[in-house]
Amino acid sequence: MHFLDQAKIYIKSGWGGPGAVSFRREKYVEYGGPDGGNGGKGGDIIFEAVAGLNTLIDFRYTQHFKAQRGMPGMGKNRYGAGGEDLVVKVPVGTQILSDPTPIEGTEDEDGTMEFEQELLADFTEVGQRLMLLRGGDGGRGNLSYKTSTNRAPRQHGTGWPGQEMWVWLRLKLLADVGLVGMPNAGKSTFINQVTNTKAKVGAYAFTTTKPQLGVVLHREREFVLADIPGLIEGAAEGAGIGDRFLGHIERCRVLLHLIDATGDDPVEQFRIVQDELSAYGGGLDEKPQIVALNKGDLLGQELMEDIAEQLRDEAGVEDVFIISGATGEGVPRLMDAVLPLLDQPTSGEDDDKDGGEESEAPWSPI
């Protein structure tokens, strides 16, 4: 299945059905009064987060969504049936944003302007639903127009129009641990080692071109690991569409930073990625982070220890894990360090506890 994390779609709720113009016609009733019923309400546009989806690829081929119009009213004061609601199913982690609008006063000399988008919805749980557009009300039948001076009205309502708009769907994957690092750091090899994922591996940068999810089973504990394509300098501003990739680890509890020990300057690799996490915002630079020096099977132990010592000084951490994603060396010890961090509450959970209210367990995709 192809991965797509952004899509633009058009949605429109249903029109209300027209009211009826009808008059009572019965035997021995020469002048029956009006009996036209009201039209039915138009269908709503409803979004629902469902399990089993992790891509927006379906919205590449279907981009227009229109709910059913309400049925017209009928004689004998019969109301029209309401239009069927249209339920748009999206993956958990999907955000709905308004179409970008220009910000006044931000136009520069080249004529370009800054744009803003409003966050309309954020689906973080299976079964979460939101009615985004309400269907139009049905038109009134001629019975409702009857007055003491207008005993046989022929007016009727045509039905109220539905609402319509263009929206953007943006998917931010839900995972427990986010795997970050520069291109060719060995992240795909690592995720293949610890999960059943079959990520593409190659001896060149940008082998991974889309986020990957895998389930890690360690010491009878399961958690979800997300691998995003390698980050380059300027990723937070969109270089290599890195800003979109960083969005996929916003919801992670822990970040696992892999560094290529065979690279030119492992310490500089660490600095670049840290700068991009900080520049992107969203609290990425504040998340618990584990630093691991990868490809330990390619260099001598003494050299690896020297590089690890430099990284410890730079990162300000007690330990830098030396591992090999290819052979699995050092990986179990690294996974042991991840598990306790998964049990730490997030800032939002801390607030709930301070308030004295019992908070529900956070949703997990497994």
Q: Is 59 a member of any domain? A: yes
- Final residue belonging to a domain, choices 171, 192, 227: 171
Cβ 187 vs Cβ 179: under 8 Å = yes
| 135 pLDDT above the threshold of 70 | yes
Q: Is 124 a member of any domain? A: yes
Question: What pLDDT band is residue 209 in, cutting at 50, 70 and 90?
Answer: low
Cβ 186 vs Cβ 322: under 8 Å = no
| 348 pLDDT above the threshold of 60 | no
Close Cβ partners of 88 (under 8 Å, ≥ 6 residues apart): 9, 11, 45, 46, 47, 48, 65
Q: Are residues 166 and 196 in the same domain?
A: no
Q: Is 122 a member of any domain? A: yes
Q: Are residues 40 and 147 in the same domain?
A: yes
End-to-end CA distance of the chain: 20
Q: Is 359 a member of any domain? A: no
Which phi and psi angles does 350 have, rounded to 5°?
-60, -40
Structure tokens at 63: 């981009």
Q: Is 361 a member of any domain? A: no
81 or 174: whose pLDDT is higher? 81
Structure tokens at 155: 């007016």
What is the three-state SS of 21-76? CCECCECCECCCCECCCCCCCCCCEEEEEECCCCCCCHHHHCCEEECCCCCCCECC
Q: Are residues 298 and 207 in the same domain?
A: yes
Residue % of the chain over a pLDDT of 70: 88
Q: Are residues 185 and 305 in the same domain?
A: yes
Q: Are residues 120 and 195 in the same domain?
A: no
- Which pLDDT score is estimated for 235? 64
Q: Are residues 316 and 219 in the same domain?
A: yes
- Which pLDDT score is estimated for 37? 96
- Which pLDDT score is estimated for 346? 60
Q: Is 363 a member of any domain? A: no
Domain ranges, residue 140: 1-171
Q: Are residues 164 and 210 in the same domain?
A: no
Structure tokens at 99: 């179409």
CATH number (domain holding residue 310): 3.40.50.300
Q: Which of 78-82, 238-242, 284-288 has the highest mean pLDDT?
A: 78-82
Close Cβ partners of 37 (under 8 Å, ≥ 6 residues apart): 19, 20, 22, 73, 74, 75, 76, 77, 78, 79, 80, 141, 143
Q: Are residues 167 and 181 in the same domain?
A: no
Q: Is 366 a member of any domain? A: no
Mean pLDDT of 80-90: 97
Beta bridge partners of 132: none
* Distance in angstroms (rounded) separating the CA atoms of residues 136 and 159: 7
- Which pLDDT score is estimated for 112? 81
CB atoms within 10 A of CB 282: 15
Q: Is 360 a member of any domain? A: no
Cβ 142 vs Cβ 157: under 8 Å = no
* Distance in angstroms (rounded) separating the CA atoms of residues 39 and 41: 7
- Which pLDDT score is estimated for 365? 39
Strand order in the sheet with 45-50: 86-91, 45-50, 129-133
| 353 pLDDT above the threshold of 50 | no
Q: Give, to the nearest 10 degrees, the angle between helix 266-280 and helix 301-315.
A: 30
Q: Look at residue 314 and give its three-state secondary structure.
A: helix
- Final residue belonging to a domain, choices 171, 199, 222: 171
Q: Are residues 182 and 301 in the same domain?
A: yes
Q: Are residues 124 and 213 in the same domain?
A: no
CATH number (domain holding residue 153): 2.70.210.12
Express each pLDDT in 268-281 by its tens digit.
999 999 998 999 88
- Which pLDDT score is estimated for 201? 55
Q: What stretch of H or E contains 349? A: helix 347-354
Cβ 96 vs Cβ 120: under 8 Å = yes
Residue bearing tokens 């889309």:
210
201 or 324: whose pLDDT is higher? 324
- Final residue belonging to a domain, choices 138, 155, 171: 171
Q: Are residues 158 and 297 in the same domain?
A: no
Express each pLDDT in 110-120 by its tens digit.
778 888 989 99
- What's the total number of domains in the chain? 2
Express each pLDDT in 219-278 by its tens digit.
999 999 988 887 877 766 666 555 778 888 888 999 999 999 998 899 999 999 999 899
Q: Are residues 186 and 167 in the same domain?
A: no
- Which pLDDT score is estimated for 204? 43
Give the pTM.
0.79
